A = this chain, B = another copy of it.
Amino acid sequence: MQRGRQLRPGVTLVRAGEPMAALFVVRSGSAKRYSVTLGGGEQVHGFVLPGELVGLEGFASGRYTCEVSALEPLGYCRVPIRKLEQLLERLPGLRREILRLLGQALDESQRLRGELALSDARGRVAHFLADLSHRLARRGLSPTEFHLSMSRADIARHLGLTLETVSRALGTFKREGWLRVRARDISVLRPDALAALGSGIA
């Protein structure tokens, strides 16, 4: 396990198609996971927060299948696959842990897919914020006051919307008194309302 590495905003951590030589654990900052479509557009798969893993999809073919690039200064650790396999040989607990992490990623991805299928625009944005809030809280950060490291366009491409629609949804939440929005700084005033809307209570 190699640690203490650092990346500047905009720099790419892994590229689609590269052989998967390592997993990465994000320590600080945030990153964007995306792939480039045939038309040249970006398909945003999600955002990586501190404490989360990068590169798991690579197990499928031995190559990464999407790009991950830093949105903020990104601190991370690198876990070489060779090293990981050696450890898996000896440590049954780690075996279970890596299976758990993969299962979690899978479950989460499916839940996100369901969200897309069921919710309308406002529901998706609400869910996005509620999810972000939840993940920040798990890392001991404030679930109600945070900074969006990604643009409205990134959020839109992640949620299958346009950036205008994302902006309007935020505007609605603001008007309803659920949020305070100042550019990319968010204050959540009514987490319950967001969570409800984001869970398909709509």
Contact = CB atoms under 8 A, between A and B. Distances in A.
A117 to B, nearest CB: 3
Contacts of A104: 59-61
By secondary structure, the A interface counts as helix
B98 A43 contact: no
A199 B56 contact: no
Contacts of A106: 56-57, 59-60, 102, 105-106, 109
Range, interface on chain A: 35 or more
B56 A117 contact: no
Contacts of A109: 106, 109-110, 113
Contacts of A140: none
A61 B110 CA distance: 15
